[in-house]
């Protein structure tokens, strides 16, 4: 059940902390033993090995310190990252694809799993928009600071006059919520649109409308209206895409609620000063 899943996630998170601390402790002990051995043998040739061990210890401790900074309960969650090309046509769409590729390679190096949920290709190159789900411990905590507009200034490869161009792309990151978070959405209020999936695929892709787009207008507790649009074409069936899109929709609603609550607390703290 939901409660048991929450307990298992908590156990796994704490086990990761213990394992990481023990790994750093073992590496520090190894480095200390190597230093003692070199001192006793008066062997200066071991200096390179010692420096390598100390560097690894520093990296492990730095990783623990960074993880300790991620104290928000949502930091441990999986993340959905959306890339949206700004104004600028092909140049901006190429920049958006560069960013998407960068985040996917970063996730691969971290050992996270990646699912491309939705992608709209650019007119000539790059992408207009894309959404990916990055699954792994502290995926959201690591990525949440990427929210905002990213800018690239370069000599455009698409300009025959080799002029300098400034391109913009927006990044939006929000945590993936499971059944442990209760988000009420009335299906009757959700506008459903189906379309053919883009890109490469099997028999169904580009032949039947398996991709799903959901539109939902959400009024937050403080009275702000948000139109949320999510798309999913990652799965092979329309039903699976619809279920996954609904999960994305609830996750995005949760992020709106999370941000408003953070702003409310910040305002209260500010009024006390």
Answer yes or no: is pLDDT of 239 > 50: yes
The predicted-structure confidence for 159-181, as pLDDT tens digits, reads as follows 777 788 889 999 999 999 887 78
Q: What is the pLDDT of residue 100?
A: 96
| Predicted structure pTM score | 0.74
Answer yes or no: is pLDDT of 204 > 50: no
Q: What is the pLDDT of residue 18?
A: 84
Distance CA 191, CA 245 (A): 12
The predicted-structure confidence for 19-66, as pLDDT tens digits, reads as follows 888 888 888 988 898 888 888 888 888 888 888 888 888 888 887 877
Q: Are 20 and 65 in contact (CB under 8 A)?
A: no
Q: What is the pLDDT of residue 214?
A: 94
Half-sphere exposure of 260 (CA within 13 A, CB side): 14
Higher pLDDT, 39 or 80: 80
Q: What is the pLDDT of residue 131?
A: 94
Long-range contacts, stretch 42-50, CB < 8 angstroms, 24+ apart: none
- Other C-beta atoms lying within 10 Å of the C-beta of residue 180: 11
Q: Give the residue carrying structure tokens 């995926």.
A: 139
Answer yes or no: is pLDDT of 202 > 60: no
């Amino acid at each position: 059940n939901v409660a048991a899943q929450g307990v298992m996630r908590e156990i796994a998170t704490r086990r990761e902390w213990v394992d990481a601390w023990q790994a750093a402790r073992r590496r520090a002990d190894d480095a200390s033993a190597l230093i003692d051995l070199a001192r006793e043998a008066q062997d200066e040739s071991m200096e390179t090995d010692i420096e390598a061990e100390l560097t690894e210890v520093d990296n492990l401790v730095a990783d623990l310190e960074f993880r300790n900074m991620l104290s928000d309960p949502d930091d441990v969650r999986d993340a959905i990252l959306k890339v949206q090309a700004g104004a600028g046509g092909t140049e901006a769409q190429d920049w958006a694809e560069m960013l998407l590729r960068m985040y996917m390679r970063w996730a691969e190096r971290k050992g996270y799993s990646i699912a491309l949920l939705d992608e709209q290709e650019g007119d000539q190159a790059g992408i207009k928009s894309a959404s990916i789900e990055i699954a792994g411990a502290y995926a959201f905590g690591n990525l949440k600071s990427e929210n905002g507009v990213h800018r690239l200034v370069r000599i455009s490869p698409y300009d025959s006059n080799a002029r300098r161009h400034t391109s913009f792309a927006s990044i939006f990151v929000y945590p993936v919520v499971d059944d442990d978070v209760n988000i009420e959405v009335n299906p009757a209020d959700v506008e459903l649109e189906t379309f053919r999936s883009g890109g490469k695929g099997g028999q169904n892709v580009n032949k039947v409308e398996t991709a799903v787009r959901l539109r939902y207008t959400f009024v937050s507790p403080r009275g702000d209206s948000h139109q949320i649009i999510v798309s999913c074409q990652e799965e092979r069936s329309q039903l699976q895409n619809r279920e996954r899109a609904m999960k994305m929709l609830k996750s995005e609603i949760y992020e709106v609620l999370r941000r408003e609550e953070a702003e409310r607390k910040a305002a209260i703290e500010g009024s006390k000063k």
